[in-house]
Amino acid sequence: MGEKNMRAQLDAQCVIEANSGFWEQMLGMTLDPAPRSAEFMAAAGHLLGTVDLTGAWIGRIEVRMAEALAYEATAAMLMQPVGDVIEADALDAAKEIANMVAGGIKSSLPRPCSMTVPESAVTGRTFSSRPMAEDSLDVVFRHAAGEMLVRVCEQECCQ
């Protein structure tokens, strides 16, 4: 049930468009989608932004960024040098990135659909993407400052 219902509304191209719209238009940064089979590995200390969605589609959108990429994005957002970025600013930026990417993805999901306030954290453990489950979609992006993973996890599809 999960894959067929989720993929009817959502595919990697939808995630790529939601992501590039934000990064290119808002930050002036280009992140290139990696090949579909690309694995994602992030060291401890990477930043995680999450948004939960409820309604006709229930799930979570996670954005995991290498620390250097998160700090570079924060610097672009705040229009200041990377060396001036502090962890609290990077955490706020991770929330905003998750919120904007999730908002772009949400437009492809069945209605009604609402988003929670985004959360963010600096992770204490290494993360590596597992082979895609039936109820999730992973898209890896690459930038000179590091990699990013956008994961859309479906918990239940009611329509």
Residue ranges of domains in the chain:
2-157
Residue 105 exposure: Cα atoms within 13 Å on the Cβ side: 34
For the domain spanning 2-157, the CATH number is 3.40.1550.10
pLDDT tens-digit readout, 41-95: 999 999 999 999 999 889 999 999 999 999 999 999 999 999 999 999 999 999 9
Q: Calculate the average pLDDT of the chain.
A: 88
Are the beta carbons of 7 and 56 closer than 8 angstroms?
A: no
Cis previous bond, 112, omega within 30: yes
Q: Percent of the chain having pLDDT more than 90?
A: 69
Cα-to-chain-centroid distance, residue 42: 14
